[in-house]
């Protein structure tokens, strides 16, 4: 049965949090204590009074989500995870920001139990929260409020709301009327450089009101748990708007030296300043003060509240008539048994753009991959992310699987990361490849956090044509390949595209699909994708290997025929996924790229990175040009004649 904390215990817990917020950065000689100190009552109110969560079941599907978008204040969250009983102990708090600890500098999902998303780059957590709220509402509509009905709480600061991604994400949330989303804005008037009046004169209330948010100015209640709880519960009662609660806090409070000072932001207090602050709080002047009886009472309280909530939910779930196979597939971000059997195949010689092929793969999976939610940054039809017969996800149709993000690449990417980390949704989002530059932060964070997101990038080369170099990606695929943990696939044709989709669904992490605008000839059976690279055209005792990706594979097949007519034997290898190939055993790699046989790589992008496989490279180490796509490719050397000439010269030079 749940227990109740006394007012004295609540105040002690707040003092403990503030003590940890000072002690841990001092021991680490690094960290941000001021925000954590100021928000200790808020965090306590959320964890001990408001949120439905169970420390012993941190992955319970219907828990409320808490996101610390101001991730630099991580010691605040770690203190609550310690108190609530999520597995952190005093040794972990003392190891704050140290090698191998469970308390890294910024919260990392999958690293510390109870952390929902990886935050740090300001504004990302705020945008992730929008995605989480979208996922919750979508699942509630799909499976019923009995099994999915919770709130997403996010704490954001001035820095989060200054970053451009917050504007995109807030606009999405307001348009979608996400009543389950509650943001507490820590309005402390301080940034690292000084008072916010140095850089900021926004009317935050007016801004969010214009977005369609419910906004309430809470004023000076940062230390009043009863008032904080009442305000949060008022916001929870708003069902047709996201809520912004503007909380005037005082950074570093209750320090007699540094309250409201920008020095409290990122510089650890010294020992004397900590001692004076603990005297104000009326707690012992000892490092990491954490009375055993207080910690035990707090953990029993949170576990008891959580057990009641989980047991009630489990009873509702057990009596629900929901489709269990669909539920499991959604939460596994995969397909139901045998889902791959419905995927299309394409005939050799058929000409089809890979962006068209991915749409066919998506639509073949609609009923067998029930968690799939696809959309684009105002480019749905252009990027192959249009789902046949599916209604848009809107406030009146929240179960819709077609998501329209508008011209908001950054917001789209970050929201998709939030959807994936919420669980129950497999988000796929498309844009032109060159606009990766507008959403690189969430792509990187998806990789860092292992979020299962499908990034669909189309118009993948100078083959885009007349739009010119501003829209023609050349360095982008190379830049993706260097991101650890990101699966990158540039399929050669429609068959490899379908296989890329299958691989993405089965992969435990994010995938970037890099697809063509222009039609390309089907020349593979798709088998290269699973192993990263494979031979698509072979010959006895090859004298040269033509190694290519994407649309250049069919070009190399043509070139190989021309070389054969000239008496030069060429093997053609498709390498849709460099990272998957590098994960293959060395004997397989040597079988595909035999030692002693010269390799010419061919890709319509920068040649950076190909030296690890190739003796020579054809690529585009410059920006493109405005002209018909086939002409740009021709002029920049992506043509049969150039491949034949370079392959012939390479074979001759290697004897």
Is the predicted pLDDT of residue 1 greater than 60, yes or no?
no
Query: Within this chain, do residues 514 and 536 fall inside the same structural domain, yes or no?
Result: no
Query: Within this chain, do residues 566 and 517 fall inside the same structural domain, yes or no?
Result: no
85: left (phi over 0), alpha (psi -120 to 50) or beta: left
- What DSSP line would sit under 26-52, residue for residue? HHHT----HHHHHTHHHHHHIIIII--
pTM over 0.75: yes
Please report, for the domain that includes residue 554, its CATH number.
3.40.50.920
Residue among 610, 627, 505, 612 at smallest CA distance from 552:
610
Q: What is the pLDDT of residue 272?
A: 96
Tell me the pLDDT band of 300, cut-offs 50, 70 and 90: very high
Q: Point out the catalytic residue in the list 108, 359, 409, 496.
A: 409
d(C-alpha 96, C-alpha 72), whole Å: 12
Query: Within this chain, do residues 142 and 225 fall inside the same structural domain, yes or no?
Result: yes
Query: Within this chain, do residues 513 and 541 fall inside the same structural domain, yes or no?
Result: no
Q: What is the pLDDT of residues 374-399, one digit of tens each?
A: 999 999 999 999 999 999 999 999 99
Q: Considering the domain boundaries, does residue 2 fall inside one?
A: no
Q: What is the pLDDT of residue 3?
A: 75
Helix locations, 428-542, DSSP H: 440-449, 476-481, 494-506, 528-531
Phi, psi of 219 (to 5 degrees): 70, -150
Is the predicted pLDDT of residue 222 greater than 70, yes or no?
yes
Question: Taking residues 399-415, what's their average pLDDT?
Answer: 98
d(C-alpha 303, C-alpha 568), whole Å: 73
Query: Within this chain, do residues 295 and 380 fall inside the same structural domain, yes or no?
Result: no
Question: Taking residues 264-280, what's their average pLDDT?
Answer: 92
The answer for residues whose C-beta is within 8 angstroms of residue 539's C-beta and 6 or more apart is 560, 564, 569, 570, 571
Query: Within this chain, do residues 247 and 150 fall inside the same structural domain, yes or no?
Result: yes
Domain stops at, among 485, 501, 521: 521
Cβ atoms within 10 Å of 493's Cβ, excluding its own = 31
Query: Within this chain, do residues 122 and 271 fall inside the same structural domain, yes or no?
Result: yes
Token duo for residue 277: 């602050």
d(C-alpha 429, C-alpha 380), whole Å: 9
Please report, for the domain that includes residue 256, its CATH number.
3.40.50.970
Q: What is the pLDDT of residue 197?
A: 84
Paired with 402 in beta bridges are 374, 392
Tell me the pLDDT band of 192, cut-offs 50, 70 and 90: confident
d(C-alpha 89, C-alpha 93), whole Å: 7
Tell me the percentage of the chain whose pLDDT exceeds 90.
95
446, exposed or middle or buried, with CB in 10 Å at 0-12, 13-18, 19+?
buried
Q: What is the pLDDT of residues 525-548, one digit of tens each?
A: 999 999 999 999 999 999 999 999
* DSSP character at residue 604: S
Q: What is the pLDDT of residue 266?
A: 80
Q: Considering the domain boundaries, does residue 184 fall inside one?
A: yes
Q: What is the pLDDT of residue 268?
A: 83
Q: What is the pLDDT of residues 356-365, one digit of tens each?
A: 999 999 999 9
- What DSSP line would sit under 174-197, residue for residue? HHHT-TTEEEEEEE--EETTEEGG
**Is residue 220 annotated as a catalytic residue, yes or no?**
no
Domain stops at, among 488, 521, 554: 521
Parent domain of 434: 339-521
Q: Considering the domain boundaries, does residue 619 fall inside one?
A: yes
Q: What is the pLDDT of residues 53-79, one digit of tens each?
A: 999 999 999 999 999 999 999 999 999
Is the predicted pLDDT of residue 372 greater than 60, yes or no?
yes
Residue among 83, 85, 82 at smallest CA distance from 55:
85
With vertex at residue 366, the alpha carbon angle to CA 363 and CA 371, rounded to the nearest 5 degrees, is: 135
Could you tell me if 422 and 181 are in contact, meaning their C-beta atoms sit under 8 angstroms apart? no
Instruction: Give CA separation, 137 vs 177, 181, 198, 356, in Å.
Output: 10, 10, 39, 30
d(C-alpha 528, C-alpha 335), whole Å: 22
Domain stops at, among 492, 521, 550: 521
Q: Considering the domain boundaries, does residue 333 fall inside one?
A: no
Residue among 449, 578, 429 at smallest CA distance from 508:
449
Q: What is the pLDDT of residues 75-91, one digit of tens each?
A: 999 999 999 999 999 99
d(C-alpha 76, C-alpha 42), whole Å: 10
Is the predicted pLDDT of residue 655 greater than 80, yes or no?
no
Q: What is the pLDDT of residues 124-167, one digit of tens each?
A: 999 999 999 999 999 999 999 999 999 999 999 999 999 999 99
Tell me the pLDDT band of 264, cut-offs 50, 70 and 90: confident
Q: What is the pLDDT of residue 265?
A: 84
Query: Within this chain, do residues 481 and 605 fall inside the same structural domain, yes or no?
Result: no
Q: Considering the domain boundaries, does residue 318 fall inside one?
A: no
d(C-alpha 451, C-alpha 198), whole Å: 37
Query: Within this chain, do residues 123 and 101 fall inside the same structural domain, yes or no?
Result: yes
Query: Within this chain, do residues 145 and 166 fall inside the same structural domain, yes or no?
Result: yes
Q: Considering the domain boundaries, does residue 634 fall inside one?
A: yes
Phi, psi of 83 (to 5 degrees): -65, -40
Query: Within this chain, do residues 300 and 429 fall inside the same structural domain, yes or no?
Result: no
> Helices 409-422 and 124-143: crossing angle, nearest 10°?
60
Q: Look up tokens 């006394």; give the residue.
A: 6
Q: What is the pLDDT of residue 109?
A: 98
The total domain count for the chain is: 3
Is the predicted pLDDT of residue 326 greater than 70, yes or no?
yes
Query: Within this chain, do residues 104 and 197 fall inside the same structural domain, yes or no?
Result: yes
Residue-averaged pLDDT of the chain: 97
Tell me the pLDDT band of 170, cut-offs 50, 70 and 90: very high
Q: Considering the domain boundaries, does residue 597 fall inside one?
A: yes
Is the predicted pLDDT of residue 2 greater than 80, yes or no?
no
d(C-alpha 277, C-alpha 271), whole Å: 10
Is the predicted pLDDT of residue 423 greater than 90, yes or no?
yes
SS3 167: helix
Q: What is the pLDDT of residues 427-467, one digit of tens each?
A: 999 999 999 999 999 999 999 999 999 999 999 999 999 99
Q: Considering the domain boundaries, does residue 167 fall inside one?
A: yes
């Amino acid at each position: 049965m749940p227990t109740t904390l006394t007012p004295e215990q609540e105040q002690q817990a707040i003092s403990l949090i503030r003590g940890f917020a000072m002690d841990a950065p001092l021991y680490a000689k690094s960290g941000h204590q001021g925000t954590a100190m100021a928000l200790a009552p808020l965090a306590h109110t959320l964890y001990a009074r408001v949120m439905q969560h169970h420390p012993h079941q941190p992955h319970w599907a219907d828990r409320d989500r808490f996101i610390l978008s101001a991730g630099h204040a991580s010691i605040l969250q770690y203190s609550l995870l310690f108190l609530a009983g999520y597995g952190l102990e005093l040794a972990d708090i003392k190891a704050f920001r140290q090698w191998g600890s469970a308390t890294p500098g910024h919260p990392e999902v999958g690293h510390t139990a109870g952390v929902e998303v990886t935050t740090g780059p300001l504004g990302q957590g705020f945008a992730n929260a929008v995605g989480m709220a979208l996922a919750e509402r979508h699942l509630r509509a799909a499976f019923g409020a009995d099994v999915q009905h919770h709130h997403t709480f996010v704490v954001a600061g001035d820095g989060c709301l200054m970053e451009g991604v917050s504007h995109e994400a807030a606009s999405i949330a307001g348009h979608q009327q996400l009543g389950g989303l509650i943001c507490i804005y820590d309005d402390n008037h301080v940034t690292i450089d000084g008072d916010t009046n140095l850089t900021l004169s926004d009317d935050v209330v007016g801004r969010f009101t214009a977005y369609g948010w419910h906004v309430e100015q809470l004023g000076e209640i940062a230390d009043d748990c009863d008032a904080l709880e009442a305000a949060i519960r008022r916001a929870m009662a708003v069902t047709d708007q996201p809520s912004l609660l503007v909380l005037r806090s005082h950074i570093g409070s209750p320090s007699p030296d540094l309250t409201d000072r920008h020095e409290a932001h990122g510089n650890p207090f010294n020992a004397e300043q900590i001692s004076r602050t603990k005297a104000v709080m009326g707690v012992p002047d000892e490092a990491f003060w954490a009375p055993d009886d207080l910690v035990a009472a707090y953990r029993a309280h949170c576990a008891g509240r959580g057990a009641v909530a989980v047991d009630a939910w489990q009873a509702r779930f057990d009596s629900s008539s929901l489709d269990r196979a669909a539920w499991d597939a959604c939460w596994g971000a995969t397909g139901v048994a045998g889902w791959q059997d419905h995927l299309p195949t394409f005939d050799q010689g058929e000409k089809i753009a890979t962006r068209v092929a991915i749409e066919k793969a998506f639509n073949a999976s609609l009923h067998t991959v029930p968690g799939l939610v696809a959309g684009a940054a105002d480019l749905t039809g252009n990027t192959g992310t249009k789902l046949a017969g599916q209604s848009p996800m809107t406030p009146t149709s929240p179960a819709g699987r077609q998501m329209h993000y508008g011209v908001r690449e950054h917001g789209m990417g970050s929201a998709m990361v939030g959807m994936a980390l919420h669980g129950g949704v497999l988000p796929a989002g498309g844009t032109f490849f060159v606009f990766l530059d507008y959403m690189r932060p969430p792509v990187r964070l998806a990789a860092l956090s292992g979020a299962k997101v499908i990034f669909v990038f189309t118009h993948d080369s100078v083959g885009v044509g007349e739009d010119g170099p501003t829209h023609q990606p050349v360095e982008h695929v190379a830049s993706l390949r260097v991101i650890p943990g990101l699966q990158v696939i540039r399929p050669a044709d429609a068959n490899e595209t379908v296989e890329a989709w299958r691989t993405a669904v089965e992969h435990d992490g994010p995938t970037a699909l890099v697809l063509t605008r222009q039609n390309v000839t089907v020349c593979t059976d798709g088998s290269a994708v699973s192993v990263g690279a494979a031979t698509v055209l072979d010959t006895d005792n090859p004298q040269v290997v033509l190694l290519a990706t994407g649309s250049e594979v069919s070009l190399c097949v043509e070139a190989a025929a021309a070389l054969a007519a000239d008496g030069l034997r060429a093997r053609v290898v498709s390498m849709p996924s460099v990272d998957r190939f590098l994960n293959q055993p060395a004997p397989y790699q040597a079988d595909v790229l035999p030692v002693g046989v010269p390799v010419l790589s061919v890709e319509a992008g920068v040649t950076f990175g190909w030296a690890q496989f190739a003796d020579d490279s054809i690529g585009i180490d410059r920006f493109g040009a405005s002209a018909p796509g086939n002409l740009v490719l021709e002029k920049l050397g992506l043509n049969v004649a150039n491949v034949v000439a370079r392959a012939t010269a390479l074979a001759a030079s290697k004897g």
